[in-house]
Amino acid sequence: MTSDDVTLRVNGKIHAGWTSVQITRSLETVSGGFSLSVTEQWPGHQDLFQITPGAACKVSIGSDVLITGWVDDTGPSYDANSHEFTVRGRDVTGDLVDCSALAGAGRWNHANLLTIVGDLCKPFGIGVKSTVADVMKTIWDHHIQLGETAFECIERVCRIYAVLPTSDGAGNLVLTRAGEGGAIAELKLGGNIKAGSGSFSDRERFSRYIVIGQSIGSEATDPSLFTAYHAESLDSAITRYRPLIVLAEASGGDPDWYQRRADWERASRAGKSKRATITVNGWRDANDALYRPNTMVRIDDDFLGLHGSMLIAGATLSLTDQGQLTELTLVRKEAFLLEPPSALTFDAPGGAS
């Protein structure tokens, strides 16, 4: 059996014995976060006061490293009966979310995704890895918009490639696609599901997606190549008139970029329209693997009407007086991946689509 001891390493020293734990990682927030607390009747962890905001840290469960980043906050408190010390922090990628984008001249011409993202991450000391082959395909133009954060700039160009930027928990930003973490557990009502809820909404879906953009050329470029491009994608599940115009975030090398962007918008919104929040006991599945984002699970839940494969978009591992719990946010894989609809069915509150 794998050890589930939660440890926080700061300045080479390992701190354990936490009485309250919350570790969250999600595809929808590029930076994972943690909150660890220890409560005791009498003070016995004076070394915790050596942990200060801004310190480099690493959070592990057993031998699995989940967070590599920085301490954001510390909070000591006490009353007549007990003392408590809380530490909160995030992945190194949290700086991409907080800080403004600055990289050279702030503009890239005929550059590829790996180069652009690498330039934006380099000042922060964040490595960039990719599991996607076509990140080397160049686009004509991408530039930093005034006032945007580094992650906003990264996210805009990633949409053109239909690529997902996420943290690997080890200090790197990874460019990947949905489901590449593999398949893990089965979730079954009446079995390992402790609690569940669903959210089924077409509020953010549209019948027609129109992506428009202006390609940039030069004096030597055929003028026909830098006229305004546009592409359309239709969602047949939305039967009433609901159009949406989307401005392309960057300029691709050919009109196919705009079609891909339109299809991504349609698929993403359709995928995110069906969500489930599932709580299970423990932090590990039947194969002794920690529940992680970007892995697939098979769900069988008659009450929510969910049957089939879903993607773990987020996982929150917690330790409370109820013991070890994991709260999973599940969406259709298409929410983060451009591909035809999966075999997942919705035969109760969500309806089939």
Residue 305 domain flag: yes
Last residue of one domain, picked from the residues 271, 297, 321 = 271
Do 189 and 293 fall into the same domain? Answer: yes
Do 196 and 295 fall into the same domain? Answer: yes
Do 282 and 340 fall into the same domain? Answer: yes
HEC sequence for 273-294: CEEEEEEEECCECCCCCECCCC
Last residue of one domain, picked from the residues 90, 120, 135 = 90
Do 117 and 230 fall into the same domain? Answer: no
Domain of residue 76, residue span: 6-90
154 three-state secondary structure? helix
CA distance 248 to 229: 9
Query: What pTM, to 2 d.p., does this model score?
Result: 0.85
**pLDDT reported for residue 257:** 76
Handedness of CA 343, 348, 349, 353 (dihedral sign): positive
pLDDT band at 345 (very low <50, low <70, confident <90, very high): very low
pLDDT (tens digit per residue) in 86-102: 999 999 999 999 999 99
Residue 1 domain flag: no
Do 22 and 137 fall into the same domain? Answer: no
pLDDT (tens digit per residue) in 206-216: 999 999 875 54
Do 158 and 11 fall into the same domain? Answer: no
Total count of domains within the chain: 4
Q: What is the mean pLDDT of residues 51-69?
A: 96
pLDDT band at 7 (very low <50, low <70, confident <90, very high): very high
Q: Are 30 and 121 in contact (CB under 8 A)?
A: no
Do 191 and 317 fall into the same domain? Answer: yes
Do 193 and 57 fall into the same domain? Answer: no
DSSP bridge pairs for 43: none
Would you state the structure tokens that stand for residue 179, as one six-digit string? 């489901």
Q: What is the mean pLDDT of residues 292-317?
A: 93
Residue 352 domain flag: no
Question: Judging by DSSP bridges, how do beta strands 172-176 and 127-130 pair with one another?
Answer: parallel
DSSP symbol at 100: B
Last residue of one domain, picked from the residues 223, 242, 271 = 271
Residue 123 domain flag: yes
Question: Judging by DSSP bridges, how do beta strands 56-61 and 64-78 pair with one another?
Answer: antiparallel
